[in-house]
């Protein structure tokens, strides 16, 4: 465990890895606190103003029952088990059961359509699926094309050949001896968000949770503290929602608030934080930019218990960083990682590790560098590719069924991220953008994140995406796609006003020379804008 320190050197000096040879995520998350304090609250489910709590004792018993039921249905270690559920105690119960079985959990987002589900279930050879009526409706038409999918369990009761979740648990024993898994044994497979090309299944070992703990502690200001409650709007099927918030919190005995959301609504989010006494939140940059449209958030909502907000997934940007300090009174704990190797850079305001426009410094225990194309380390402020050295406990084992893609992900002992950044003189890493998202304009290499952050600072702009569009003179020009806030209508005059707004705050080569207004932007389930679709579109 990482211990608090007043500065970065203190954090690094006191840390070393201690990964046990034998380790099981399900036992650690569901059983450890149940043995000490079985009535301790683990999950707080908020649905339509009703609130239901689940204790650690109940998590242990239910995950044991589900593990036993799955074993009786023929599920064996190594089988892939899909979890297609909204935020709820059932998600954690399902994960706990899968890990205890020695099987591999496959988180699936509720926002996935039939094609996305079919690809992941087929590619992974999923043997069982735990879902609800909404998920069942999506999967039922696909069953004929999924010969490996032998077992489907629905939380909403038996339906056709789907088994009823409650019936299975009621008939099973609350006692179950977990498989004695090694820390390096496969446990979890998360498909990459697919911003470029088909998604790939990143297979992780049980040690991935332990590997997340130092970065989690940094970005969330060292929980647990008295009265802590965690919440994230991110789907728990995403690495951010699952590993930057939910599982590490439960490991520390911190209750997690579950609130299924069809879409992020800023006012509802602030109301939830106030009513449920949220102390620590993990909010993607997109959500934070949307919150910027709420006037006087601290005056209108009781946010007095909110002590920390962490963010990751895309670059936050200096304007949103400054807004949070001014309007929320909080310095955002920004972090960086990938599905393949998550949470390796982080900020930590209490250790004086936070800087506007930066995604933090290497988390103790992780070796992170910015490399030139020839593999040498870039100089201070020289753009290069973020790379992470192996071995590393958060690093994936391999891509599922894609040995060539796995090999291409590495150069020697460096895992290459495909993300461009620069390192400043104090060791802070400043994210610029994915290699394929960079805009080349009149010899400038421009990252979209800073432009998008500036654009959402305009009172009319709710969401923004900046991409490069071909131009015979400049190679590319910056083009912005904008979603407007309520009360604003598209017009040439508004576009010109927004262009001037960005030009005054950034530079003449960064402002968008073309603007298009949209009702929505294409996004991944993890809240990232799919710029490729905008670049390739009409």
8 Cβ contact partners less than 8 Å away, ≥ 6 residues apart: 348, 351, 352, 353, 361, 427
Strand runs labelled E in 347-494: 361-362, 368-371, 384-389, 398-399, 410-411, 414-423, 429-434, 439-441, 444-446, 461-471, 475-484
Q: What is the pLDDT of residue 471?
A: 78
List for the chain the helix, strand, coil content (%; round to 5): 35, 25, 40
- Tell me the pLDDT tens digit for each residue of 174-193: 999 999 999 999 999 999 86
pLDDT digits (tens, 9 = 90+) for 5-14: 999 999 999 7
Mean pLDDT of 221-242: 95
Helices (DSSP H) in 102-164: which residue ranges? Answer: 114-124, 133-139
Of 42-56, 85-99, 459-473, give the lowest mean pLDDT range: 459-473
Beta bridge partners of 308: 280
With a cut of 60, say whether residue 529 has pLDDT above it.
Answer: yes
Of the ranges 90-99, 260-269, 326-335, 486-495, which one carries the lowest mean pLDDT score? Answer: 260-269
User: Which 3 state secondary structure label does DSSP give 226?
Assistant: coil
Q: Give the Cβ contact number of residue 472 at 10 Å.
A: 5
Cis ω before 391 (30° cut-off from 0): yes
**Mean predicted lDDT score pLDDT of the chain:** 92
CB burial of residue 176 (10 Å; 0-12, 13-18, 19+):
buried
pLDDT-derived band at 526, boundaries 50, 70, 90 = low
| Confidence category of residue 264, pLDDT binned at 50, 70, 90 | confident
Q: Is the peptide bond before 224 cis (omega within 30 degrees of 0)?
A: yes
475 vs 192, which has greater pLDDT? 192
Q: Helix or strand or coil: residue 285?
A: helix
Percent of the chain at pLDDT above 90?
Answer: 78
**pLDDT value, residue 195:** 46
Look at residue 262 in the predicted model and tell me its pLDDT.
75
Domains and CATH numbers, the chain: 21-42+52-205 (3.40.50.12780), 438-536 (3.30.300.30)
* Band of pLDDT at residue 450, cut at 50, 70 and 90: confident
pLDDT band at residue 373 under the 50/70/90 scheme = very high
Contact status, residue 471 vs residue 480, Cβ threshold 8 Å: no
Asked if 433 and 444 count as a contact pair (C-beta separation under 8 A), the reply is no
Mean pLDDT of the region 303-317 = 91
- pLDDT-derived band of residue 514, with 50, 70 and 90 as boundaries? very high
Residue 270 has pLDDT above 70, yes or no: yes
What is the Cα–Cα distance from 387 to 340, expressed in whole angstroms? 12
Please provide the DSSP assignment of 453-489 as one string: HHHTTSTTEEEEEEEEEEETTTEEEEEEEEEEPTT--
pLDDT at 503: 86
Mean pLDDT of 290-312: 94
What pLDDT is stored for residue 436 in this prediction? Answer: 66
* Phi (first) and psi of residue 198, to 5 degrees: -70, 145
Tens-digit pLDDT profile for residues 108-154 = 998 888 888 998 999 999 999 999 999 999 999 999 999 999 999 99
- Can you give the pLDDT at residue 484? 95
- How many of the other CB atoms lie within 10 Å of CB of 319? 20
What residues contact 19, with CB distance under 8 A and at least 6 apart?
A: 183, 207, 210, 211, 393
Would you say residue 442 has pLDDT above 60?
Answer: no
Report the share of the chain in percent with pLDDT over 70.
Answer: 96
Say what the pTM is: 0.86
Asked if residue 478 has pLDDT above 80, the reply is yes
Residue 419 near residue 435 (C-beta atoms within 8 A): yes
Of 221-235, 449-463, 486-500, where does mean pLDDT reach its minimum?
Answer: 449-463
How far apart CA 132 and CA 535 sit, in angstroms, is 36
Please tell me which residue, 474 or 394, carries the higher pLDDT value.
Answer: 394
């Amino acid at each position: 465990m990482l211990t608090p320190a007043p500065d970065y050197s203190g954090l690094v000096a006191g840390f070393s890895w201690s990964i046990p040879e034998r380790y099981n995520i399900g036992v650690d998350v569901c059983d450890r606190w149940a043995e000490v304090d079985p009535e301790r609250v683990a999950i707080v489910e908020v649905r339509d103003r009703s609130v239901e709590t689940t204790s650690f004792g109940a998590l242990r018993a239910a995950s044991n029952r589900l593990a036993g039921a799955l074993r009786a249905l023929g599920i064996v270690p190594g089988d892939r088990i899909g979890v297609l559920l909204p935020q709820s105690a059932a998600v954690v119960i399902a994960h706990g059961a899968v890990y205890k079985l020695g099987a591999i959990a496959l988180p699936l987002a509720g926002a996935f359509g039939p094609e996305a589900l079919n690809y992941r279930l087929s590619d992974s050879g999923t043997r069982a699926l735990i879902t609800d009526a909404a998920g069942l409706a999506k999967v039922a038409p696909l069953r004929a094309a999924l010969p490996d999918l032998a077992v489907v369990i629905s939380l909403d009761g038996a339906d056709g050949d789907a088994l009823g979740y409650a019936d299975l648990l009621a008939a099973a024993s609350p006692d179950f001896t977990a498989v004695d898994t090694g820390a390096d044994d496969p446990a979890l497979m998360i498909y990459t968000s697919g911003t470029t090309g088909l998604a790939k299944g990143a297979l992780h070992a049980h040690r991935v949770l332990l590997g997340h703990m130092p970065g989690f502690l940094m970005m969330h200001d060292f929980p647990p503290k008295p009265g802590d409650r965690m919440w994230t709007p991110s789907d728990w099927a995403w690495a951010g929602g699952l590993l930057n918030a939910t599982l590490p919190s439960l490991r520390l005995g911190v209750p997690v608030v579950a609130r299924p959301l069809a879409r992020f609504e800023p006012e509802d989010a602030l109301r939830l934080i106030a009513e449920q006494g949220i102390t620590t939140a993990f909010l993607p940059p997109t959500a934070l930019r949307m919150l910027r449209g709420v006037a006087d958030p601290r005056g209108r909502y009781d946010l007095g218990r909110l002590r920390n907000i962490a963010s990751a997934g895309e670059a936050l940007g200096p304007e949103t960083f400054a807004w949070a300090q001014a309007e929320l009174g909080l310095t955002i704990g920004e972090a960086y990682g990938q599905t393949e190797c998550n949470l390796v850079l982080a900020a930590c305001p209490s250790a004086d590790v936070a800087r506007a426009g930066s995604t933090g410094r290497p988390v103790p225990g992780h070796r992170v560098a910015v490399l030139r194309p020839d593999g040498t380390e870039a100089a201070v402020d020289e753009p290069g590719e973020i790379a992470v050295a192996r071995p590393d406990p958060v690093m994936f084992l391999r891509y599922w069924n894609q040995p060539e893609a796995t090999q291409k992900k590495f150069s020697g002992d460096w895992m290459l991220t495909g993300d461009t950044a620069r390192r400043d003189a104090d060791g802070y890493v400043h994210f610029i953008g994915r290699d394929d998202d960079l805009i080349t304009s009149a010899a400038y290499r421009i990252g979209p994140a800073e432009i998008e952050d500036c654009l959402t600072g305009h009172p009319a702009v709710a969401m923004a995406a900046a991409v490069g569009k071909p131009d015979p003179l400049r190679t590319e020009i910056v083009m912005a796609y904008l979603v407007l806030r309520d009360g604003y209508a598209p017009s040439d005059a508004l576009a010109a006003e927004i262009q001037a707004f960005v030009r005054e705050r950034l530079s003449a080569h960064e402002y968008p020379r073309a603007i298009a207004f949209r009702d929505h932007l294409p996004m991944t389930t993890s809240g990232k804008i799919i710029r490729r679709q905008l670049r390739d579109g009409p």
